Structure 1
Amino acid sequence: MSDLVEIHNISKRFAIHGDLLDQLTFEDGRLRRKREYVHAVNDVSLTVRKGEALCVVGESGCGKSTLARLVIGLLRPSSGKVIYDGERIDDMTGAERKPYHRRMQMIFQNPYASLNPRMTITQTLEEPLRWHQPELSRNEYMAKIAEVMASVGIDASWGSRYPHEFSGGQRQRISIARALVVDPEFIVADEPISALDVSIQAQVLNLMSSAQEERSLTYLFITHDLAVVEHFASRVAVMYLGTLCELAPARALFASPQHPYTRALLSAIPRLRDERPAFIRLEGEVPTPVHLPSGCVFHQRCPYANERCRREVPRLEALPGQVSPDQPKGARISAEHLVACHAVQERRI
């Protein structure tokens, strides 16, 4: 599969130091200017291939949602670039990005906050059509709305009602319909099922899977629910404290996790089998993203950390000894299962 989205060394930091007077402090008898930042995403590089569902996982505060907003254009990166279908889009103006807004849509986490309470469902679905396809007639708008409502299981009679009249699962279906109504090819889903009951989660996931098959969609799916990832993802990217720890096909990641943090995450999945791996309890506190640790950001909680881990930032590389079927025996490739860990590269794990 070819790459649809390319993320190159992207970083995002948020200033927390306030205005100029808040930045001024006295230290050792001198007036100094002190500025602090939250380092939400740090030098992340990955690609999203056409037709796949790339899931980004990690604990709360690891930078998953910030990464999603950087890709879709709701935030501008502090450094790095985002390339969509061969064109750089992160430095475009609003007018220049308009054609890409139709091709890229987002499903937000909270269905209770993402819909305008003053607009009916028909108005909610009609608004993006009028913005992106103003040449259509009123009848064509209504035909398109009826089609997309039927595709996500929404009754046509809902069109005249308001969001407060629906349950969370129904609202999320409406949010999905709003994303699909302009016929996008790439959808960023930021934890779209976390606010829903478990039974409703399955319905929404099945709906998204069906839409992917019928419309040839590509997903960047943000979640912390690893049970969902195991069944929905094509590939999985694991993040910790704004950095990318591991990137692999879903089946390979769940069968053979390599990074110590990934192993700890997967050990926490509830399973009804005796052979499940023992729960891995990580020691220590999660460092603050304001003052990132030196070297590997995970070294303070990692049982395999050594002096190199404390000093040198690991690079995302292929597993040692990984070979390609069409390469000579012993050849290494930088594809498929990638890990950013000195212990793995040195074969200490």
Structure 2
Amino acid sequence: MTASAAHVALASHEHESEHQDQATRTLLEIRGLEKRFDLSGDFLEQLKFRRGRLVREQSHVHAINGVDLDIHRGEALCVVGESGCGKSTVARTVMGLLRPSAGEIHYDGERIDHLESKALLPFRKRMQMIFQNPYASLNPRMTIQQTLEEPIRLHQPGWNREQIREKVAEVMTSVGIAPDWGVRYGHEFSGGQRQRIAIARALAVDPEFIVADEPISALDVSIQAQVLNLLMEAQRERHLTYLFITHDLSVVEHFGTRVAVMYLGRVCEVATTRTLFAHPRHPYTQALMSAIPKLEDDRPQHIRLQGEVPTPVNLPSGCVFHARCPHVSERCRREIPRLIATSDGGQVACHAVEEGRIS
């Protein structure tokens, strides 16, 4: 073998090893994910008279519009954005609580978005969810013991009563709840205690991936740090991977490994937490970062966005942010930007960044 051939073979082997390593690291892949909610009602409600003619009109809420995301093993990927941007819809679609209108979801190399309930059951054990409202996520007619036993009985049908009780006691202790509280009902606990119970329920089946949909936003500020630290401790001890939905950037800075910024159902930017806070690239991300209160006198001036937020019922053409962007061009109005790789290992969907008009 010649030196050049050996060099080509070595480069090819390195590229293949890198691709395999990336595939091994990636736990969840989301490709071209879309979700639309029908506003039209039944067939008769869709029929309208327009200029003397009977026509059928359909309208939809375009909640997610072509989302691409990779979630790596052991990380906490935070998804941020303003209310209505599609964060929670992504979370619920990933968990199978909503059926996607288009796109694919792959978990550990297997496609799961098209599976029926029975086929999805083995993945339910590996994937768990913590909901936003601890006052609504617990069944008021079940004791805490019954609440925590239910998922174990479903996913471990061969366990006897003693094994189930031991597992419930173990997870209750791990989240700072006394096992003898199991005889009580959810309404007897505070919001922070209820959310600890919800976390214990998610951990009861020993999952490897947890979707947390704004799990601390409904709690008092004094309790939020405790619950957040509990989630971080569980991640270290159980080697968990998180998809963490939040609108609180201070939580992201404390908790997240990487951050995905969404606007009107699309991903604008993906970067490591440190990179995003130090050097945001997308104009929308820059506006978000500038809104964080800081004590420094020399911080950049707060960016005030102009215009109104478009409605997800009638999406704008091209880039969904173009009506409020200070760097808009004609291309932005016509063409939807794709996520492109950046020099610091992130991704950004912006024509102005791609063309070098902004750094």
| TM superposition score category, shorter chain reference | over 0.9
2:342 counterpart of 1:342? no
Query: Structure 2 counterpart of 1:345, which letter?
Result: E
Q: 1:254 aligns with which of 277, 283, 289?
A: 277
Residue 27 of structure 1, CA deviation: 1.7
Query: Structure 2 counterpart of 1:230, which letter?
Result: E
CA distance in 2, matches of 1:20, 1:67: 28
CA distance in 1, matches of 2:262, 2:102: 18
CA distance in 1, matches of 2:297, 2:126: 46
**Aligned 1:188-199 pairs, distance under 5 A:** 188-199=211-222
The Cα RMSD (Å) is 0.9
The equivalent of 1:219 in structure 2 is 242
- After superposition, give the CA deviation of every residue in 1:141-176 in whole Å (9 maximum; x if it has no partner): 110011101110001221111111110000000000
**Aligned 1:39-50 pairs, distance under 5 A:** 39-50=62-73
The equivalent of 1:147 in structure 2 is 170
**Aligned 1:1-349 pairs, distance under 5 A:** 2-319=25-342, 322=343, 336-349=345-358
Scaled by the length of structure 2, what TM-score is found?
0.92
The equivalent of 2:14 in structure 1 is none
Partner SS, residue 270 of structure 2: strand
Higher percent of residues as helix: 2
Residue 276 of structure 1, CA deviation: 2.6
Residue 275 of structure 1, CA deviation: 2.8
CA distance in 1, matches of 2:298, 2:187: 46
Alpha carbons of structure 1 residues 181 and 274: separation in structure 2 relative to 1, 3 Å:
same
Query: Structure 2 counterpart of 1:87, which letter?
Result: E
Residue 274 of structure 1, CA deviation: 1.9
CA distance in 2, matches of 1:211, 1:272: 33
Residue 28 of structure 1, CA deviation: 2.5
Partner SS, residue 321 of structure 2: coil
CA distance in 2, matches of 1:97, 1:105: 12
CA distance in 2, matches of 1:318, 1:45: 13
CA distance in 2, matches of 1:196, 1:6: 31
CA distance in 1, matches of 2:145, 2:75: 30
- After superposition, give the CA deviation of every residue in 1:242-273 in whole Å (9 maximum; x if it has no partner): 00000011110000000000011111112222
CA distance in 1, matches of 2:220, 2:300: 28
Residue 40 of structure 1, CA deviation: 0.2
| Corresponding residue pairs, total | 335
- After superposition, give the CA deviation of every residue in 1:200-253 in whole Å (9 maximum; x if it has no partner): 100000000000000000000000000000111000000000000000111100
Residue 26 of structure 1, CA deviation: 1.6
Gaps spanning 5+ residues in structure 1: where?
324-335
Query: Structure 2 counterpart of 1:340, which letter?
Result: A
CA distance in 2, matches of 1:186, 1:275: 41
Gaps spanning 5+ residues in structure 2: where?
1-21
CA distance in 1, matches of 2:308, 2:107: 37
- After superposition, give the CA deviation of every residue in 1:34-81 in whole Å (9 maximum; x if it has no partner): 000000000111110000000000000000000001111101100001
Residue 277 of structure 1, CA deviation: 2.3
Scaled by the length of structure 1, what TM-score is found?
0.95
CA distance in 1, matches of 2:317, 2:145: 52
Residue 198 of structure 1, CA deviation: 1.1
- Deviates further, 188-197 or 151-160: 151-160
Query: Structure 1 counterpart of 2:350, which letter?
Result: C
